[in-house]
Amino acid sequence: MRFDAIQAFMREQRIDGWLLYDFRGSNPVLAQVLPRAEKRWTTRRAVLFIPAGGDPVLLAHGIDWNQFEDVDVARERYLSWRDLRDWLTRTLAGRNRVAMEYAPGGTLPVVSIVDAGTVELVRSLGVEVVSSANLIQAFVARWSDEAYRTHLAVSKQVAAIKDQAFGLIRERLAAGRAVNEYEAQQQILAQFTEAGFETDSAPIVAVNAHSGDPHFEVSATSPAPIQRGDWVLIDLWARQPGQHNIFSDITWVGFAGRDVPARHREVFGVVKAARDAALKRAVDGWRGKDRVQGWQLDDAARGVIVAAGFEPFIRHRTGHSLSPGPAVHGMGMNLDNLETHDTRDMLPGIGFTIEPGIYTPDFGVRLEINVFVDPSTGPLVTSCLQDDIVQL
């Protein structure tokens, strides 16, 4: 693995090195930096140090030595806690600022991985510990060219599968035949399997009040029927197998009838305007060479919802990272100034969702799109984009 790009980034940020500490698989970032086909089963502490200049080195306990035979960085072995401390003292000598998986004040839980005691130990060696949040973005969360191309292809298929799920509902209703949340969900999963996709959990098909629950789970035994006059939200996500690939993650809404109620149209319009406001803030910031951060994109969307009088019906942040790794919620910048104050920069090469929502007791609206920050042209929408309510 080449570390040139991340080392150049560290020098730009005046960071002398990146210290990745792990205990029994506690640090998922290390697993992404040193990937392996199979999970590493470690029982002792391991530390990878990537200097801003020079060769990285990994320190591993003798018992776990064989778990790192595949890595292409220099390895050193330790036995005792004194060996570990001596190694840190030697390795960090002369370094002023070192990044770790740490967020001041616990502001970014996804980055707050290293325990306080270990951070204290490193600080005791005369080193300033700074957050690795943007290093993770620049190295771990960045999309490869292949991942970008694959994501675009998958996004087209996921959009078609979404259309077919709405189509199933429309056809059943037109024929006077019963249809429910579970049947539509299972059709989506079957089509994922047919396409060779993987997903980390089942899609959401939520009717009426169920759509007001952002993380509603479809019941296999007592699913809600979908009938004329019902509101339907479908949230689905999938990717080509492999942790180097990126999920396509979208949410659309529809109404089973010709005359959409005024309240539903109003809420839809506000959520659409919020989505577009966040996208515009991202694009304008890029074009103006502005330093855009995750919290600002959240504010842009949420401000529209608040101004329209729907603040009591906000249930979550505006969006999450899309990045390589095991889960649909990635390790990069989130659009968040609600649950956390995300000060990570919108860096070139990363991706994220924009998915503002309004969730009333009777129904919910979420409109989710995917965005990739092209290093040349800036933020690009890579998924389908809903501009009107699907009529079923």
CA 180 – CA 382 distance, rounded (Å): 30
- Phi first, then psi, for residue 323 (nearest 5°) are -150, 165
Same domain, 62 and 99: yes
Same domain, 103 and 247: no
Domain range for 51 is 4-139
Domain boundary among 99, 123, 139: 139
Same domain, 135 and 149: no
pLDDT of residue 1: 64
Same domain, 93 and 167: no
Cβ distance 155 to 384 under 8 Å?
yes
What are the CA-CA distances from residue 326 to residues 199, 204, 246, 248 (Å)? 10, 20, 10, 14
pLDDT of residue 243: 92
Same domain, 44 and 107: yes
CATH assignment of the domain containing 255: 3.90.230.10
Same domain, 80 and 167: no
Q: pLDDT truncated to tens, each residue of the chain (392 aa)?
A: 689 999 999 999 999 999 999 999 999 999 999 988 788 999 999 999 999 999 999 999 999 999 999 999 999 999 999 999 999 999 999 999 999 999 999 999 999 999 999 999 999 999 999 999 999 999 999 999 999 999 999 999 999 999 999 999 999 999 999 999 999 999 999 999 999 999 999 999 999 999 999 999 999 999 999 999 999 999 999 999 999 999 999 999 999 999 999 999 999 999 999 999 999 999 999 999 889 999 999 999 999 999 999 999 999 999 999 999 999 999 999 999 999 999 999 999 999 999 999 999 999 999 999 999 999 999 999 999 999 999 99
Strands 378-381 and 369-374: antiparallel
Same domain, 149 and 281: yes
Same domain, 118 and 220: no
- Tally of domains within the chain: 2
| pTM: predicted TM-score of the whole model, two decimal places | 0.94
Residue 124, token pair as written in the block = 């005791």
End-to-end CA distance of the chain: 50
Same domain, 66 and 179: no
- How many other CB atoms are found less than 10 A from the CB of residue 279? 19
Q: In what order do the strands lie in the sheet with 74-78?
A: 74-78, 57-61, 45-51, 17-23, 97-100, 128-131
